[in-house]
Chain A
Amino acid sequence: MNRVLRVLILAAVVAVVLYPLMWMAGSSLKSPSEVSNNLSVLPREFTWNNYSQGWSSLDMPFGRYFLNSAVIAGATVFANCASCLLAAYAFARLRFKWRGFYFAVMIGTLLLPHHVLIIPQYLLFNAFGWINTPLPLVVPKLLATEAFFVFLMVQFMRSIPRDLDEAAKIDGASPYRIFQYVMLPLARPALVTTAIFSFIWTWNDFFTQLIYLNDLSHYTVPVALRLFVDSSGQSLVGPMFAMSVLSLLPVFLFFLAFQRLLVEGINTAGLKG
């Protein structure tokens, strides 16, 4: 293809991809008079007002929602890494009865839409008295219910040479010791990928957090952000942009730091199947 044409098309795609993000960031720095109907990315005059106003314009300081989100995301990262690693080790390396069957079931749950489970799970966690706590969001992850990560780690472990654990086995190491001294250190890359994706998905998750967290003091960032629409005065558009920018910042920083890992993560999980 013509080289100039290629560059032109790519430049256009870059513009389309970046414009909404830049417009959001730029609008968060605009004064109320120019914030809504303004095509340009750069504000005519810079102001940080939207940030201070947005931080305190919902009933609680926005930091509260950040804390709630961070607690849930942190616990989820730990829970996913721990539980999926255990399950993946069993699937990838240990021989036991019904393993093939369980593995097929696990793959089946990969495609299971979680909306099908949301009502019975809600009734269950409601009966436990877990509404308005982080428990319904974290406890399922402790039980390796994120099949995607189990699958990702199984694929990774299958690429680790079997000679290593065979050798350890001959020396009399039990499966538990092999897990601890061979698998755990070698599986670190898969753990990092799992941790990053867990964080981003939990941070962005809206559906489950909306359902389980009904009390303002327990709201997470996405659940709180939507309040800017409910109380839709035009004057809050600027603060809404400001808090939206802050809410995306952690994901964006993760993207900058781990860009290659993220891109390769979807490849290994996607293609080696």
Chain B
Amino acid sequence: MQPSVAEVALPSAGTSADRRAARRRTGSSRRGEGLAGYVFLSPWLLGFLGITALPMLASLVLSFTDYELLDSWSGVKWVGWANYRRMFTDDPHYLHSVAVTLRYALVAVPLKLAAALGVALLLRRDRRGNGVFRGLFYLPSLLGGSVALALVWLAMFSRDGAFNAALSLVGIQGKPWVNDPDWALSTLIVLAIWQFGAPMVIFLAGLKQIPPELYEAAAVDGAGRTRQFWHITLPMLSPVIFFNLVLETIHGFQGFTGAYVISGGEGGPVDSTLMYTLYLYVAGFTDFRMAYASAMAWVFLAVIALLTAVIFSTGRFWVHYADGDTQ
């Protein structure tokens, strides 16, 4: 790196005692810095208040009313917990969308992480060509969330798609996977697993941090590859597994684009791809039931917060920090 302006233009910084003395001399600088802090932070503060905090409060209030998009505000009534009660007692679509989302996340997240870890283990040693593999495998993570890829999936797993063409080569009669209520969600899970590259890159970085001496010592003690994996790699990698688990779970619960495109925006066939966020969109922006959708959003937030809390609190039992600090 070339020397910066400051390094060239400014004389040496002196000792920290000098610096403290200097700061005392410029007595007003502290206050100036405090003011500057708020000046630099003001866009963020404004955004946090105006676009995050207040709208969140507004949606909480809204969730206890019967507001619909085209209503005039004067006719809006307070309905108490009615929206929330309806979700769990009087709306089969809602409960179904919860089940779909859980099934999606519970299958897609572990498989995606397993694929990511498996491939990362294959690439951990420094070999020629690893950089190319790493880049190639990361590519789906950049492209996979797009509408274009969802369209490709739709075409690939349709009745006349490439997948059935491949099956027919080995004599298996395929089916229209994306139109089959039993299989449509599975095509979305495959699309999620296909994007294993991002957690893989994070696993690779984590693997590089494990001191090689551990393996050398274990090998001297006669531990084979399998034992080394269970007793060194997995425990040493557990903070990274933990990080990926939190990230991918939150990510998994929010899947929208694939489900929207494959089902034409309706969550079909027979609600089988009605992911939670897709139903929220349908309720709010197709049916204009904004109050109900707000209630759904708050339940969603509560569940994600709870889930994150559960992962964090169980982390104590299985996440191993090398410096012995378990907090």
Contacts and interface: CB of A to CB of B under 8 A. Distances in A.
Interface of A: 1, 6, 9-10, 13-14, 16-18, 20-21, 23-24, 27, 36-39, 83, 86-87, 89-91, 94-97, 99, 102, 105-106, 109, 111-113, 115-124, 140, 142-145, 150, 163-172, 174-176, 179, 181-182, 185-186, 200, 204, 206-207, 210-211, 221-223, 225-226, 228-230, 237, 240-241, 244-245, 247-248, 251-252, 255, 259, 262-263, 266-267, 270-271, 273
Given A225-B147, A263-B138, A143 B161 contact: no
B41 A206 contact: no
15 contacts: A10-B123, A16-B194, A17-B139, A36-B155, A143-B44, A182-B4, A207-B256, A226-B151, A229-B154, A229-B264, A230-B264, A241-B152, A267-B202, A270-B243, A271-B240
A186 B47 CA distance: 26
A164 B254 CA distance: 42
Interface in B8-57: 10-14, 18-19, 22-23, 26, 29-30, 32-41, 43-48, 50-52, 54-56
Interface stretch (B79-87, B89-97, B102-110, B277-285): B277-285
Interface residues of B, number: 107
B162 A115 contact: no
B122 A181 contact: no
Most chain B CB neighbours (cut-off 10 Å) among A17, A24, A186, A244: A17
Interface string B243-277: 10001001001101100110011000000000001
A240 B55 CA distance: 38
B133 interface: yes
Contacts of A271: 202, 205-206, 240, 243
A263 B134 contact: yes
Contact of A87 (B6, B44, B50, B169): B44
Nearest to B67: A123
Given A39-B169, A96-B38, A109 B147 contact: no
Contact of B119 (A13, A21, A248): A13
Most chain B CB neighbours (cut-off 10 Å) among A99, A142, A210: A210
Contacts of A181: 5-6
A176 B265 CA distance: 49
A206 B257 contact: yes
B111 interface: no
Given A10-B133, A267-B202, A17 B280 contact: no
A10 B247 CA distance: 26
Interface of B: 4-7, 10-14, 18-19, 22-23, 26, 29-30, 32-41, 43-48, 50-52, 54-56, 58-59, 62, 119, 122-123, 133-140, 142-143, 145-149, 151-156, 158, 160-162, 164-166, 169, 194, 197-198, 201-202, 205-206, 225, 240, 243, 247, 250, 253-254, 256-257, 260-261, 264-265, 277, 280-281, 284-285, 290, 293-294, 297-298, 300-301, 304, 308
B49 to A, nearest CB: 9
Given A170-B13, A255-B142, A120 B136 contact: no
Contacts of B198: 266
Interface residue SS majority, chain B: helix
B304 A113 contact: yes
A150 B5 contact: no
Most chain B CB neighbours (cut-off 10 Å) among A1, A200, A259: A259
Given A113-B254, A172-B26, A229-B154, 11 more contacts: A36-B161, A38-B162, A96-B33, A96-B36, A113-B300, A185-B4, A222-B147, A226-B147, A244-B149, A247-B148, A267-B201
Contacts of B135: 255, 259, 263
Q: Which 6 A-B pairs have the closest CB atoms?
A: A143-B47, A96-B37, A120-B55, A244-B148, A175-B36, A90-B40
Given A167-B13, A263-B138, A95 B253 contact: no
Contacts of A91: 41
A165 B13 CA distance: 9
A116 B147 contact: no
Most chain A CB neighbours (cut-off 10 Å) among B37, B153, B297: B37
Given A204-B145, A207-B256, A248-B148, A17 B137 contact: yes
Given A37-B161, A87-B44, A119 B155 contact: no
B44 A144 contact: yes
A221 B253 CA distance: 25
Given A109-B52, A270-B243, A174 B32 contact: yes
Contact of B19 (A9, A90, A166, A186): A166
